[in-house]
């Protein structure tokens, strides 16, 4: 089940980040900020240095945490070839993986800059 309290962050190479609220059939822009471009560049550098297929093959299985009031995460990277999507439902998003650590640092900075979503009722 999706939304209405599911945040999505979209990062751009110039350091801009957009914060969306995602619901079943709707995606609403909630805010925009500019981060230190080095945070985004670190994600790009790690992405370019990572063989995504090899990484996916080495990650432990994930689990659907939403079935017991947990939160699922998904990272989606724009890549020219292959699959750039990773979900905590299918694989464990380990902070020890440099790409995921860089992504987590950018997400933390985005949350600090943009604040949380106000909770909505269905």
Q: Tens-of-pLDDT digits for all 122 residues of the chain?
A: 455 678 899 999 999 999 998 887 888 899 999 999 999 999 999 999 999 999 999 999 999 887 877 788 899 999 988 899 999 999 999 999 999 999 999 999 999 999 877 777 65
What is the structure's pLDDT at 3? 58
pLDDT at 117: 73
DSSP H or E stretch at residue 86: strand 85-87
Task: Dig out the tokens for 113 from the structure.
Answer: 């800059």
Using CA of residue 106, residue 110, residue 116, residue 118, what is the dihedral sign? negative
Q: Which residue range(s) make up the domain with 32? A: 6-113
Residue 95 lies in a domain: yes
pTM: 0.89
- Tell me, yes or no, whether 50 lies in a domain: yes
User: How many folded domains does the chain comprise?
Assistant: 1
Domain assignment of residue 118, yes or no: no
Domain assignment present for residue 16? The answer is yes
Question: 39 lies in a domain?
Answer: yes
Within a domain: residue 1? Answer: no
Among positive and negative, which fits the CA dihedral 65, 90, 107, 29? Answer: negative
């Amino acid at each position: 089940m999706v939304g209405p309290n599911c945040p999505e962050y979209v990062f751009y190479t110039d350091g801009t980040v957009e914060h969306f609220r995602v619901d079943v059939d709707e995606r609403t822009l909630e805010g925009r900020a500019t981060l230190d471009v080095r945070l985004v560049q670190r994600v790009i550098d790690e992405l370019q240095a990572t063989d995504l297929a090899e990484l996916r093959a080495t990650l432990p299985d994930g689990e659907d945490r939403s079935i017991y009031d947990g939160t699922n995460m998904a990272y989606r990277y724009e890549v020219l070839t292959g699959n750039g999507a990773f979900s905590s439902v299918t694989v464990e998003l380990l902070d020890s993986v440099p790409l995921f650590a860089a992504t987590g640092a950018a997400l933390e900075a985005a949350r600090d800059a943009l604040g949380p979503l106000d909770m909505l009722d269905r």
